[in-house]
Structures are given as structure tokens and as C-alpha cells.
Amino acid sequence: MCSVTSGLSTSVQRKALRKMSVVLIIGACLAFAPKAQAQIELSVGVAVGTNYSIHSGSALPKTATGLGLIIGGQAEMSFTRSLGIVTTISYDNRIGYYSDNGSDLGIDFTEDVLLSASYISIEPMFKYVFPNRLFYVVSGPCLGIAVQGRSETTTNIVTPGYSFPTGYATQTVKGTLENMNSRFEWKVGAGYGYQIDKTTRLNFQLTYGHGLTKVAKDLDWKVNSLTLLGSFEFALGR
């Protein structure tokens, strides 16, 4: 009888400890929840910048480079004074130029080629702000939804006495890129934030994006880029 009673007593004690543990956990969550919510800060704003794109791959005779436009909006959620997530949604145009020359049937010519691939980009990146509250680093993925791809090739005949059927020595041909892929790349970078007042901040950010997908399905052509972005943010709820 004593052993049974002892066993029952131990079982009751265990159940009581479990219930107490659950109560303590729930109490701790309720106690810290307001503090966690108080730490979360949300800012929104506009972002404008440019990217220096590097187009490469066996589908291109030469590496193409160029500057493109970025314009969109930005939202930042800060969990602590140091950690947060900054998300930019923008129109992003990746432009590249290259020049080449050749010869056909003894006729020499030069070619100037413009490549353009534009996207709606969504990039949620983790952000770490250094203790001085001025400089920060970011890293995260970038998804680009294809909008349009095009090319423009200007050919100039340099051998005297020859011309195109139009009678001119220069001809421009425009084309549209078919079967574009959505773009996926990984970005890393750093920035500087200047606090104008309690609710507004100006940021300057430089990132490198490494392209992980091909521009088009059947072409060995990828794009890496350096992006310089400026944003003007407004803090909400302050």
C-alpha cells in the first residue's frame, strides 16, 4: 500500500509540475510579448538608384556592360536596434552594351549591340545595423519577374563602296527576347543611414548581386550587377 501511495503521489507531483511549467511559459510569453511588440518598428519609403550590370555567357560574343534604372518602394521592419528586414519592390532594368567587328565575303563591318532585360524585382534582405547606428550590412535573395527583353544591333559597313540594300552603310535591327526566365540572385552589400529627424531617414546602399539563373531558357546568358540605391524612409507609429 505504501508503495502504491508513493507512486500515486509522485505521479500527482509530476502532473502538478507540468501544469506549473505550462503556466510559467504562458506567463513569460504574455509578459514579454508587449516588449517584443514595442521593439518592432516599421518604416516605408521610396527608392531610386542605378545598377551596373555585367552580362556574360557563351550566348554572347563579348561581355556586355551598362547602367540601368531602378525605381520603386521600400519597407523596413526592425526587430531590435540592430536586426531587421528591408524589402524593396522596384522596376529594375538590366542593360548591357558591347561592340564587335567582323568580315563577310571580304566586306568589313562593326556591330554595336544593346541588350536590355527588365523586371519587377522583390528583394527581402536581412539587415544588421552597427552600434553607431550609421553603417549597416545587408544580405538576401532577389526575385525578378520578367517584364520585357529586347536587343538592338547597329551594323556599320566600313569597307568603302559597299552598302545595305537601303543604300546606307549603317543598319539597325531591333529584336524581342522570347522565353525569358524569372531572375533569381543573391545580394550582399552595405549602406549608410542618416537620421534626418525622429521619423525620417535617408539611406545610401551599395550591393553586389550574383545571378543564379539564365536570362532566357535556351541561352547561356547570366547577369551580375552592382547596385547603388538611395531611399527616403518614414517611420510609422512614432
Please state, for a pLDDT cut of 90, what percent of the chain lies above it: 74
- One domain, residues 145 and 62: yes
- One domain, residues 30 and 44: no
Total residue length of the chain:
238
pLDDT, residue 198, reads: 87
Q: Which residue range is the domain that position 160 belongs to? A: 40-236
pTM equals 0.77
pLDDT, residue 5, reads: 36
pLDDT, residue 133, reads: 83
Q: Kindly report, residue by residue over 46-56, the tens digit of the pLDDT.
A: 999 999 999 99
Q: How confident is the model at residue 238 (pLDDT cuts 50, 70, 90)?
A: low
Of 116, 111, 139, 121, the closest CA to residue 53 belongs to 116
Cβ atoms of 139 and 187 within 8 Å: the answer is yes
DSSP 79: S
- One domain, residues 78 and 195: yes
Q: Residue 89: give its domain's CATH number.
A: 2.40.160.20
Number of domains in the chain: 2
- One domain, residues 175 and 124: yes
- One domain, residues 81 and 166: yes
- One domain, residues 16 and 104: no
- One domain, residues 183 and 205: yes
**36-45, 153-162, 198-207: which has the minimum mean pLDDT?**
36-45
- Rounded Cα distance between 179 and 224, Å, is 20
- One domain, residues 49 and 23: no
- One domain, residues 148 and 84: yes
- One domain, residues 23 and 98: no
18 vs 111: which has the higher pLDDT: 111
- One domain, residues 62 and 18: no
Provide the mean pLDDT of the chain: 86
Q: Kindly report, residue by residue over 98-153, the tens digit of the pLDDT.
A: 999 999 988 999 999 999 999 999 999 999 999 988 999 999 999 999 999 999 99
